[in-house]
Homo-oligomer: A and B are copies of this chain.
Amino acid sequence: MAGSKGKVCLAYSGGLDTSTILAWLLEQGYSVVLGCRREEGSVAIPSPTLAIDEDETQRSRINFGIAVSPLTKYMRHTALQIGAEKASRVRRGALLEGRPVRTYYSPRSRRQFPRLTVQQNAIYEDQYLLGTSLARPIIARGQMKAAAATGCQFVSHGCTGKGNDQIRFEFAFYTINPEIKVIAPWRDPTFYNRFQGRNDLLDYAAEKGIPVTSTKAKPYSMDDNFAHCSYEAGMLEDPNVTPPEDMWTRTVSPLKAPDTPLDITIHFSKGLPVKVVTPSKTVTDSVELFGLLNDLGKEHGVGRVDIVENRFIGLKSRGCYDSPGMTILRLAHISLEGLVLDGRVRALRDNLSKQWSELLYNGYYFSPEREFLQPSLDHAQLRVNGEVRLRLYKGHAYCLGRTSPEKLYSEEDASMDSLTTFDPSETSGFVTINAIRLKKYGLQKAEAGEKF
C-alpha cells in the first residue's frame, strides 16, 4: 500500500523509465516525492572556491540545466495519471503531507562546476571534458535537499547498473546524509527481471495509465546539460562505427560550418572567464557568457570528441561528447596559463589536476580527498588574469595571442637578441653542475661496455 514503506525522493525526468519507476515505487508501497529542476528563482549554494572569489555575484549565475528536467505541464499530467494527487510548481513549504506522490524542484544553481573544471584544466584520459561528471554531484545535492525538506528516508534514480552515474549520485547521497537509503531499481533483480526490455516498460505504462509519447527510440542514449551533450550505448557500442552525423546536437558538422572564421577574445580573472568579446557583442554575465560560447562553438562545429574510456567499475565504454563552450574555454585557459603560471607550479598543478579529474569522473566530488586538493588548486589561479584571442573555424579553435597584467613573462628576458637582463655565460655553470650526475652515468655505462 502506498506509503507504508516510507517516503522516496525520486530524480524524475518525466520519461518512460522514471515514470515506470514512479509507478513501481507506488506499487511497492512507497510514497514518492519527485525531484525536478526548478525553473525560476535561485538558491545559493556555498561555493568551494569562495575564498578566492571576491566577485560572487559574477560567478553566481551559471545555471546548468541537467538531466533532471524542470517540471513541465506534461510531467505534471503524467504524474497525475500515474497516481499523484497533486503535482504543481509548489514551494517547499506548500508540499502537502499524506499524499503518495509529491513534486519537488531541486535548486537550479549549478554555477561553480563548469568553471571549476575550466580552472583546473580538468580532463579525463586526455579527451573527455567531464560534462556529465560535473553535473551529477550538483543534482545529487539538490535531490538531497529535497529529500531532507520533505522527510524522505529514501532516494531513488533511474541509472543503469553498469554506468558511472549511479556511483556519482550515490557517493554524493551517502556523503551528504550517511543515513539515507538508496533504491536503485535497475540494480534490483525484482525490477530488472520484470522489465527486461522496452516492450515490458511500454506494457506496464499501458497498464498503469502512464502516458507515453510514441517517439521512435534513438539508436543510442543521450544526456544533455548546459555543459555538453553525451552519446553512448546502442549502435555506438561498436567502437568502430562512426557516429551518424545527425547524432550531434550541440555542434554543426565542421563540413557545414561557416567558411569565414570568427575571432573572439575571452578575459579571465583568477582563472575564471569573466568577459567574452565578439565582433558583434560583449557579454560579462557568467550564464550568458557560457551560453554564448556554446552557441559560437556550435555554429563553428567546435568540440566533438569520440573516445573509448575506462569507467570506474572497470568496464570500457565508448562515449561521444560535444562540448563547444568547454572546449573553447579549455584552450583559452591553457593558453593564458602558459603566459602567467610559473613553470614548476604548473608541473605540480598538472599532477593535481589529473587526480582531481579522476576524482570527479569517479564520483568523488564530495570527498575528503577532493576537498584536500582544492586549496592548492585554487591558490594556483590567483594570478591567472588576462585575455586570450581565439579563432573559431570549421571544427577547431586556435589561439591567436594572449596578454596579461601579470609579469612572469618578459619579452626582454625571452629575447634571443637581448643580453641586458641575462649573462649567458652563467648557463655554462648550470649545464656543468647538472651534468655531474650524467657524467657519472656515462662512465658507468662505458665501464659496463654499454653504448648509447
Q: Which A positions have Cβ atoms within 8 angstroms of B? A: 46, 121, 125-127, 141, 160-163, 166-167, 170-171, 174-178, 182, 184, 186-189, 192, 197, 221, 232-233, 237-242, 254-255, 261, 304, 306-311, 313-318, 334-335, 338-339, 342-352, 354-355, 358, 364, 366-369, 371-380, 383, 389, 393-396, 398-403, 406-411, 413-417, 419, 422-444, 447, 451-452
- Which of B178, B307, B345, B372 has a CB less than 8 Å from the CB of A443? B178
Question: Are A452 and B176 in contact, CB atoms less than 8 angstroms apart?
Answer: yes
Kindly name the residue among A242, A368, A440 whose own CB sees the greatest number of chain B CB atoms within 10 A: A368
Cβ contact within 8 Å between A186 and B424: yes
Instruction: List residues of chain B with CB within 8 A of the CB of A317.
Output: 414
* Contact partners of A242 in chain B: CB under 8 A: 389, 400-401
Q: How far is the CB of A66 from chain B (nearest CB, A)?
A: 17
Determine the residue in chain B with the shortest Cβ distance to A436: B314
- Complex contacts, A141 vs chain B, CB 8 Å: 452
- Rounded to whole Å, the gap between the CB of A264 and the closest CB of chain B is 13
Q: How far is the CA of A166 from the CA of B255 in the complex (A)?
A: 44
Q: By the criterion CB–CB under 8 Å, are B401 and A437 in contact?
A: no
Q: Are A442 and B309 in contact (CB under 8 A)?
A: no
A403: which B residues are within 8 A, CB to CB? Answer: 239-240
Closest chain-B Cβ to A20's Cβ sits at a distance in Å of 16
Bound complex: CA A338 to CA B444 (Å): 16
> Can you list 21 A-B pairs, Cβ within 8 angstroms, ordered by A?
A162-B422, A175-B442, A186-B424, A233-B416, A240-B401, A240-B403, A241-B401, A255-B393, A306-B400, A307-B335, A308-B402, A313-B436, A314-B435, A315-B410, A316-B409, A316-B414, A373-B376, A407-B444, A423-B432, A425-B429, A430-B432
Chain B residues with Cβ below 8 Å from A170 are 431, 435
The distance in angstroms between the C-alpha atoms of A176 and B371, with both chains bound, is: 32
> How far in angstroms is the closest Cβ of chain B from A116?
14
- Taken together as a complex, chains A and B put the C-alpha atoms of A147 and B233 apart, in Å, by 38
Contact B396 A368 (CB under 8 A): no
For A410, the chain B residues whose CB sits under 8 A away are 315-316, 440
The docked-state distance in angstroms from the alpha carbon of A413 to that of B437 is: 11
Given contacts A233-B415, A254-B393, A402-B239, contact A345 B358 (CB under 8 A): no
Q: A171-B431, A444-B383 are contacts. A307–B338 as well, Cβ < 8 Å?
A: yes
A187 engages B425 (CB within 8 Å): yes
B187 in contact with A428 (CB, 8 Å): yes
- Whether the Cβ atoms of A379 and B372 lie closer than 8 Å is yes
- Are A175 and B438 in contact (CB-based, < 8 A)? yes
Tell me how far the C-beta of A367 lies from the nearest C-beta in chain B, rounded to whole angstroms.
6
**Contact indicator A125/B338 (Cβ below 8 Å):** yes
Given known pairs A435-B174, A441-B175, the reply for A339 and B427 (CB within 8 Å) is no
- The reply to whether A354 and B345 contact each other, CB–CB distance below 8 Å, is no
Known contacts A316-B339, A375-B376, A441 near B368 by CB under 8 Å: yes
